[in-house]
Amino acid sequence: MNQDISHAAGISPINGAVGTDARPVAVKAVMIDLDGTLLDTAPDLALAANLMLKELGRRELPLETIRSYIGKGIRRLVARALTASPDGEPGEELLARAMPIYERHYAAVLYASTRPYPGVVEGLEVLRAAGFHLACITNKAEAFTLPLLRAAGLIDYFGIVLSGDSLPKRKPDPMPLLHACRLFGIAPHEMVLIGDSLNDTQAARAAGCHVFCVPYGYNEGRDVRELDCDAFVPSISAAAALLRGQ
């Protein structure tokens, strides 16, 4: 299904969305990030980090501190938690010892407190009913991605799920987005990525895809409004309404 969207800078067809691109958009497929976009995974990511720190005899960290460490994958999250710093670089030996400990704890608490954000299920229903192809594109390992999507009841919405280890490269590299385009048989400009971080906007721009940003995600604690995107949307349901031209 081909949907035309026209919105000028600062003006949007729906309440709460802020457009930054005046060009019409013809979208046939929608890619959506996982952590911080579909699911609020921060509580369980933080719980696993603190269980790891406790096992290693290190000081536990507040949820909000760990939340600000999310956005560059689990390995970077673990490195930051070990050093209690966003720029921290633990020794390779410590990091190598900590990673399997973190992954073991995270697997055990994967969906303890994680839940879809408001508007996610409603938005996916609208997008599916409107005939858009749907893909979930995440940097999370497949061993965590698929169980999370199943536990949340979201996996059946997506024709394609690409995890951080599905391909040789991941976001911010455009490879996963371009691969999804090939699988769907469409051009990059016919697809939009919805995400919450710099990884998402950089990948979309490099691929030649459109990109919408939600404000409630992680982005390493930085303001999402600093990102280069075509629209800021308050929820997936709002993005769905925008894509349908409402």
So where are the chain's domains?
Answer: 3-40+115-243, 42-108
42-108 adopts what CATH topology?
A: DNA polymerase; domain 1 (1.10.150)
User: Domain 3-40+115-243, CATH 3.20.20.10 — does that match?
Assistant: no
- Kindly tell me if the per-residue pLDDT of 11 is higher than 50: no
Q: Tell me whether strands 25-27 and 160-162 are parallel, antiparallel or unpaired.
A: unpaired
Question: Is 33 one of the catalytic residues?
Answer: yes
User: Which residue's entry shows tokens 């710093």?
Assistant: 85
Encoding tokens for residue 79?
A: 């490195």
Rounded to whole angstroms, how far apart are CA atoms 120 and 104? 28
Model confidence pLDDT, tens digit, residues 181-224: 999 999 999 999 999 999 999 999 999 999 999 999 998 878 88
Q: Are 140 and 35 in contact (CB under 8 A)?
A: yes
Rounded to whole angstroms, how far apart are CA atoms 201 and 69? 18
Query: pTM of the prediction?
Result: 0.88
Model confidence pLDDT, tens digit, residues 144-171: 999 999 999 999 999 999 999 999 999 9
Encoding tokens for residue 3?
A: 């949907």
Model confidence pLDDT, tens digit, residues 38-92: 999 999 999 999 999 999 999 999 999 999 999 888 999 999 999 999 999 999 9
Catalytic residue among 33, 40, 196, 230: 33
The 8-class DSSP code of residue 191 comes to: E
The pLDDT score that the predictor gives to residue 224 is 86
